Structure 1
Amino acid sequence: MSKKKSSSKKNKAKGTGPELPVGRLDITRSGMGFVIIEGLEQDILVKPNDFNTALHGDKVKVQVMRSSGRGGGRLQGMITEVVERKQQSFLGKIELSKSFAFFIPETDKPMPDIYIPLDKLHGAENGARAVVKIVEWSNNKKPVGEVMEVLKEEAANDTAMKEILLENGFPLSFPEDVLEETARIPETLDAKEIAKRKDMREVLTFTIDPMDAKDFDDALSIQSVKGGYEIGVHIADVSYYVEPETELDKEAYLRATSVYLPDRVNPMLPEKISNELCSLRPHEDKFTFSAVFLINARGDVKESWLGRTVTHSDHRFTYEEVQEIIENEDGLYKEEILLLNKFAQRMRKQRFKKGAINFSSQEVRFKLDENRKPIGIMIKESKEAHQLIEEFMLLANRTVAEFISKIEVNKKTLPFPYRVHDQPDEEKLTPFAAFALKFGHTFHTKSPEQIAASFNQLLQDVQGKPEQHVLEQLGIRTMAKAVYTTKNIGHYGLGFEHYAHFTSPIRRYPDVLVHRVLQQVLDEQYLPDKKMEEKCKHCSERERAAMDSERASNKYKQVEYLMNFLGDEFDGVISGVSSFGFWVETVEHKCEGLVSITSLSEYDDFRHVESDYMLAGRRSGRTFRMGDKVRIRVVAANLEKRQLDYEWVIATAMKEETGDARARKAAAKKAGNKKHGKKK
């Protein structure tokens, strides 16, 4: 790095400009803090006395005071402001006295106890486990909190799910002012508003959703018209009900997304909106925001229209019902569904031909008993019914983004939350291409188009081969993460030059932002949002937190399920390799656990070959490579750590066999000594 660049970063870190740098506070178990700032190579050290009420994970402003150590060393600073709390509510225990109460958070990160006024205990007794929200906190004083929920001791798995949500910054309930504001929203559609909209209530319309869905945020309509078919993609008009800067809007923005755990949904919006007012339930008139397409008999999109509508769903389908109609070519509205599926499959084929990457995905779903404990695991695969909905949602999302991308205000593009996906990281792609070549798969990396074509060819070639699992998993890991931003660089994975999220405003806040900007453009009332990029970053961060919550909860349920199978054996596939062992995902239920290298040490001395994603035995030459099929035994299941431990079954057999051989050898030696009259 040149001195000029170094100096520039240093000035930025010290806050010599108009704005102090903003970053995330990471507090270690020892109590020391480090502010991590994007684009700054070195984290800023912050001592506990300089936290200024900031907690682990908070977004903060930091003033750099000095560099610690001789000759500069590490940058050291103090936090001047908490910009955004990662977590407002905490799980822990109540300690009660006659005149006051304290709440002790259960966390491995240092944080102060929370003072609870007696009138804010809401029935919590001494020693009770509870969820407490911080309601006030001035510097140099104890934080003040309020009990939001008293937890029942017998529901350990329920508590675990709540803890996962809280740790990732998702509130468990809605504030009273939000619920009051929601309750005041009229339940009947306003006649004046209906008159302003395109009325599509007479057009055949239906929803297709999972069996257990309650928030139906999209519907399809179809009718024959001159030149082909008019197909509408109708989306719940959340932005009509959730107005900017209301308490409801602020809470939706704070959450930014619904979180889907195995046994519950933590919604972005109160149920009255998500499951009632906005949900496109059958046989009810609803306000919608629509993308309507004229599609000819071949399946080509000839025209499109965007705007607000009023619609009426005639039927609610599940994916399973639609799949049955597709496979049997019979059932309710069979002609319409078969036609929609024909168009969807054509669009899908064209997408992949134009460079979209065809990564297949499997979703694990748990069958739960009345106590939310898993009693079975199902693998959900994408079928044509899912692809039907997916293709029309992609079409609507792309159409909206293309439309907005052409709008300029004062010769500047309109700030808009695009959904973008960057090209693969070259540092990750190069070793992946070299690894794929070992299996005979050539990878061309000279251009983004060649990379996409190589991926699709590889995914096609590996079907049913031993290396399929490993190459699919490693291929996905080379991909960048999709994010929200005003900088439109396109969506590489989908092969779209313009893309945005328009179709799920009940569960994603960026879709609400998209609806608002789109309506401004349609009304020709441009109000460029100067904070749009900041909102995009927040939504991307909340999306990652939701994904972390979903992964952690799935892992918990996997451990909870396999606790019933300790000592049992299963077939598995090696899903990851490290210097301390390898992970195995069971074939039957996709549960991942670790086979530690220590459990293999008596069989051989294994070394980690990072370039080949494998462990190799120094004496035997035995290898464990990512993608290999193995037999494992479940030996431990730790719910607190959400961790499964497996044992390689063959290793046990080898160990026993080796032990038998040693015993036979010792017996033979003893017999030989006796025969020749030798003494010890």
Structure 2
Amino acid sequence: MAKNKSSHLELVLIQLISDVLEKSKQEALNYKQVSSRLNINDPAGRETILELLREQARKGIFLEPQKGKFKLKDLKTFVTGKVDMTADGSAFVIPDDEFEKDIFVSARKLHTALNGDHVKVYIFAKKSGRKNEGEVVEILSRAKMDFIGVIRISERFAFVNVDDKKMLHDIFVPLTDLGGARNGQKVKVSISEWPEGAKNPIGTITAVLGEQGENNTEMNAILAQYGFPLAFPAEVEAEADAIREEILPQDLKGRKDFRDTVTFTIDPADAKDFDDAISFKKLSNGNYEIGVHIADVSHYVTPGSALDKEAYDRATSVYLVDRVIPMLPERLSNGVCSLRPNEDKLCFAAVFELDEGANMISEWFGRTVIHSDRRFSYEEAQEVIEARSGSYADELLKLNELAHILRERKFKNGAISFESTEVKFKLDDNGKPLGVYVKERKDAHKLIEDFMLLANRRVAEFVAKKGKGKKKYTFVYRSHDAPNMEALSSFALFAARFGYKINTKSDKEIAKSLNYLMEDVEGKKEQNVLTQLAIRSMAKAIYTTKKSSHYGLAFDYYTHFTSPIRRYPDVMVHRLLAAYLHNEKSANEEAYEAAASHSSTMEKRAADAERASIKYKQAEYLEENVGQVFTGIISGVTEWGMYVEIIENKCEGMVRLRDIADDFYVLDEKNYCIIGQRKKKKYQLGDEVKIRVKKVDLAKRQIDFSLVQE
């Protein structure tokens, strides 16, 4: 066996020997004992084990406390972690143990590991001053086996050019496994094997998505890329179709009847899945009874059913530019569960008695039946609020008044107001973008949001305070950590360049100054850049069973209760709340924590898919504008270029550093800018620049700009 460089087989053997020595509880073993535990009984095999034990003892990996006996040195020779691929084919493995440093793995030592895979890495003995380097010895689990790309078919073989930038290998497809795909079509390919020593994996076409560049094909490709199914399984559809729509007397048992109380929904004009309604009643004591009624999805979707398993897997509805991919089949999401007007509907509600100052007098949680009197679009409700007259004007105006008080109180307590611009497209019948506009949020949007926040907060608080210590009740919270102070300080320095001061002395001061900033920046050209940077400096919100606060909203307890048609965590929350209202014992925390973690993962995937669909439509829109000059704001800087967002239409593209001809530019990461090495000219995040649309690559959803020098 070669002594100068370890072969991959050697590394696997060393790993197996290490496992044996680790299990020996620090008892030193000789080579015969190690061989026996590895079921190696032939003389040549035993000799190899002895040779490896001696060699690794010389290297300091194993100890030899007495001649011929070996044990594991107390250091980590093998580490498990996640592969983060770089553009050149090498990778860093990010260890599961957050206190371990990242391990660099060269391309030829990855041994078929792909981006995101969970792997075991052998760490080489560190040379002075060098970073940790290693070699993948085992793939513990694949991040994904399915990829999206364009198929190229020749006479003898076919291969798929994968869209994913971090998948650096084409996937070969035998001509017998084409699944009906034609040359140049977009397909979904599943890796079936990767033979030892082969440069490329072998795959099978599992879905033909259509012709490259067609709207439906590209939207389906985005869904498939992020792991969302394109259709519901037949058994799930059958189960949904079997659910009756009419409400029977037994369905009303144990429900409060709100059918005679004024109730309405307020949603986007094109919405079909109405999962929340508000009821309003003025009480004889002068207070107001306000009910937040939520579609009772858990009445119809029961644990263990095919519907429930599918909803769990998806975890969320996905909102692409031109379509919604619902978490539940349409029969439920737009029919049985949707709180449509002039129909009796089953709900789960949080009902509050509030006084004129929006103070909580009493609250009630439980199942209800409602009959919505009116379906408002946001625009229609806004018209009534602004005109102070019209359908249900008294109710809407009072709700708006109370919502304003709740909102003001929330900000006074330290909540942060992030009003980032939401881009919408005007599309023709074929999904082609005709124009881009920014969605405005007015009082009607905020009114609904404030009452949903109230319901979410009070439900979380009710369960959190029901049991303490070892008697606490398992629940699914929406948690948001305090920001990383280093990231926030860095943002504060950047905001100061625009004349905005961020006070980082305390959580309340941070929130107050961020709110002043958001208020000041509204409508200004730098609004989106500063808002996005501020959001990036914040921690990400997640689902968890651990009781923790929501920093951004300044709530001690928070959950998601109000959207079970489109979010699985809300379904879990309904089930848990129902159980605890009936004094059932606490649910299994481990199972719910796993479900919460899965929901957080799927939520991120859905957001990435939505962003990808926006990026595609922006590219499609600008494809007609190649050569046009626009004014934009520098929205990001990297070592290879700067991102610019066009002010007029919010489309973002990149100016590559190699294309700026007047100097050699490098990134100054600390100061969010790029600097010319000779003339010292700076291009800073937030600067206004003129650009020309240079090139659009629809397949890669990539827009290239060139700088128009003044």
Scaled by the length of structure 1, the TM-score of the pair is: 0.82
Residue aligning to 2:332: 273
CA distance in 1: counterparts of 2:279 and 2:504, whole angstroms: 42
Q: Hey, what's the Cα distance between the residues in 2 that align with 1:32 and 1:412?
A: 49
Equivalent positions of 1:592-671 (< 5 A) are 592-602=652-662, 604-617=663-676, 622-649=681-708, 651=709
Structure 2 equivalent of residue 215 of structure 1 = 273
Amino acid corresponding to residue 595 of structure 2 in structure 1 = K
Matching residue's letter, 2:430: N
Segment of structure 1 superposing worse, 297-306 or 153-162: 153-162
Question: Please, which of 39, 53, 75 is the counterpart of residue 97 of structure 2?
Answer: 39
* Corresponding residue pairs, total: 627
Query: Which residue pairs with 2:506 in the alignment?
Result: 447
**Superimposed CA distance per residue, residues 276-327 of structure 1 (whole angstroms, 9 cap, x where no aligned partner):** 1111111111111111111112322211111111111111111111111111
- Matched position secondary structure for 1:453: helix
Name the amino acid aligned to 1:287. L
* Alpha-carbon distance between aligned partners in 1 of 2:673 and 2:458, rounded to the nearest angstrom: 45
Amino acid at match of 1:541: T
Q: 1:45 to 1:192 in 2, by over 3 A?
A: farther
Q: Tell whether the 8 Å contact from 1:584 to 1:595 is kept in structure 2 after alignment.
A: yes
User: SS of the residue aligned with 1:565?
Assistant: coil
Q: Where does residue 137 of structure 2 map in the other structure? A: 77
Aligned counterpart, 1:378: 437
Per the alignment, residue 624 of structure 2 pairs with: 564
Query: Does the C-alpha gap of structure 1 residues 47 and 286 become closer, same or farther in structure 2, counting only changes over 3 Å?
Result: farther
What is residue 309 of structure 1 aligned with on the other side?
368
Counterpart check, 1:539 vs 2:599: yes
Q: Report how far residue 554 of structure 1 moved.
A: 0.5
- The 1:92/1:613 distance shift into structure 2, 3 A limit, reads closer
- Describe the SS at the equivalent of 1:226: coil
Deviations 1:204-251 (A, max 9, x none): 111111111111111111111233111111111111111112222111
Alignment of 1:111-130 (within 5 A): 124=180, 127=183, 129=185
**Structure 2 equivalent of residue 498 of structure 1:** 557
Partner of 1:183: 241
Q: Give 1:436's match in structure 2, choosing from 456, 474, 495.
A: 495
Distance 1:392 1:484 in 2: 21
The corresponding residue for 1:170 is 228
> Any gaps of 5 or more consecutive residues in structure 1?
1-9, 655-680
C-alpha distance in 1 between matches for 2:133 and 2:631:
52
Asked if the contact 2:420/2:531 (under 8 Å) is kept, the reply is no
Match of 1:252 among 284, 293, 311: 311
Matching of residue 585 in structure 1 with residue 640 in structure 2: no
Residue 286 (structure 1) aligned to one of 307, 330, 345: 345
- Give ranges in structure 2 of 5+ residues lacking alignment: 1-14, 26-77
Q: For residues 576 and 63 of structure 1, do their structure 2 counterparts lie closer, same or farther at Cα, with a shift above 3 Å needed?
A: closer
CA separation in 1, counterparts of 2:111 and 2:638?
40
Contact 1:94-1:125 at 8 Å conserved across structures:
no
Shift of 1:646: 1.9
Quickly say closer, same or farther: Cα 1:525–1:145, change in 2 above 3 A. Answer: farther
Say whether residues 1:480 and 2:525 are aligned partners. Answer: no
Q: Which residue of 1 aligns with 2:12?
A: none
Identity %: 46
| Letter paired with 2:242 | R
Answering whether residue 218 of structure 2 is matched by residue 160 of structure 1, we say: yes
Distance 1:304 1:113, change over 3 A: farther
Of stretches 172-181 and 32-41 in structure 1, the one that deviates more from structure 2 is: 32-41
User: AA paired with 1:528?
Assistant: A
User: More deviation in 266-275 or 411-420?
Assistant: 411-420
CA distance in 1, matches of 2:482, 2:384: 38
Query: Distance between the aligned counterparts of 1:398 and 1:30, measured in 2?
Result: 47
Conservation of the 8 A alpha-carbon contact between 2:111 and 2:136: no
- Partner residue of 1:660? none
TM-score, scaled to structure 2: 0.79
Q: Is the 8 A contact 2:186 2:209 kept in 1?
A: yes
Which letter maps to 2:657?
A: I
Aligned counterpart in structure 1 of residue 467 of structure 2, from 408, 411, 433: 408
**Shift of residue 433, structure 1, vs aligned partner:** 2.4
CA contact (8 A) 1:409 1:526 kept: no
Deviation at 1:160, TM superposition (A): 1.7
| Paired position in structure 2 for 1:261 | 320
Mapped to 1, the partners of 2:85 and 2:553 lie a distance apart of 38
Query: For the Cα contact (< 8 Å) 1:51–1:79, is it kept in 2?
Result: no
Distance 1:452 1:204, change over 3 A: same
Query: In structure 2, what is the equivalent of residue 205 of structure 1?
Result: 263
Q: Aligned-pair distance for 1:30?
A: 8.6
Q: 1:247 to 1:564 in 2, by over 3 A?
A: same
User: Is contact 1:96–1:126 with CA below 8 Å preserved after alignment?
Assistant: no
Residue 670 (structure 1) aligns with? none
Pairing 1:357-368 to 2, within 5 Å after superposition: 357-368=416-427
Distance 1:158-1:406 versus aligned 2 partners, 3 A rule: same
Give the 3 Å change call, closer, same or farther, for CA 556–314 of structure 1 in structure 2.
same
Does structure 2 retain, via aligned residues, the 8 Å contact 1:222–1:230?
yes
SS of alignment partner, residue 293 of structure 2: strand
Say which SS state the counterpart of residue 627 (structure 2) adopts: coil
How far did residue 154 of structure 1 move? 7.0
Aligned equivalents of 1:181 and 1:175: distance in 2?
A: 10
CA RMSD of superposed structures (Å) = 3.8
